[in-house]
Amino acid sequence: MIGRRTWSRGVRVLVVLACLPVLCAAADRRPKARSRSRGGRDAWQQPARVVEDLGLKDGSSIADIGCGGGYFTFRFAKAVGAKGKVFATEISERAMRGVSDRVKREKLTNVEPVLSEPTNTKLKDASTDAAFICNVLHHVPKAQRPGLVKDIARALKPGGYFFIVDWRFKATIRYDIGRRIPRDELVKLGTDAGLTLDAEFYYLEHQVYLRFRKAE
């Protein structure tokens, strides 16, 4: 009896070992666990709808503040048309090179890369119909935020609009949890710069979307 039990266990071990390659192969075919940002940025950012709500027209001008790799920049370029202008501002030389290279590669005449400074966009006074900043302010040191927003307001034409998109303070997405800015502080940055909050969009799952207007 002892010999039979030993032999039986040995057979079971051999069977399991023989099945391991099959089990491993099946595991490799299982779908990978997705993060809470399921579907990628486009799924939760809804860029087409965000751009539509900017109200850009053929010939409009807009500043993409802290444009990064140009996620919105090149969408704006399509929205404003060949007669419009997109000022793509960025303090990172590396990111600016990437945007500039794409502008040259695609022979775009309506995108102007602008290497800026933390509180100086390098834009001319009253030079743009709108300004847009997305997921940037929480990266800016708190002491520099008022200066940056005031400089953006300076660059707006009278009656121009400034749009802020940034994380909701309690958003469930995993990014920048320790850096987020409460909505009321975002509003104060705009109003302290002399702008008036005149609209708020609520459809973005993870982000606040605010619109400010400059007096005419």
Summarize the confidence of residues 182-191 as an average pLDDT: 98
Tokens 């459809």 sit on residue: 203
Domain holding 122, by residue range, is 41-213
Q: Is 158 among the domain residues?
A: yes
Q: Is 100 among the domain residues?
A: yes
Q: Is 190 among the domain residues?
A: yes
What CATH number corresponds to the domain at position 101?
3.40.50.150
Q: Is 10 among the domain residues?
A: no
The single-letter code of the amino acid at 47 is P
Q: How far is CA 82 from CA 29, 65, 86, 105, 211, in A?
A: 47, 20, 10, 16, 25
pLDDT in tens, 45-103: 999 999 999 999 999 999 999 999 999 999 999 999 999 999 999 999 999 999 999 99
2-6, 131-135, 189-193: least confident range: 2-6
User: What's the CA gap between 193 and 10, in Å, rounded?
Assistant: 78
Q: Is 145 among the domain residues?
A: yes
Q: Is 155 among the domain residues?
A: yes
pTM equals: 0.82
Q: Is 69 among the domain residues?
A: yes
The answer on pLDDT for 112 being more than 70 is: yes
Q: Is 13 among the domain residues?
A: no
The answer on pLDDT for 167 being more than 70 is: yes
Reported as type and span, the H/E element at residue 196 is: strand 196-201
The total number of structural domains in the chain stands at: 1
Report, in this order, helix, strand and coil percent for the chain, each rounded to 5: 40, 25, 35
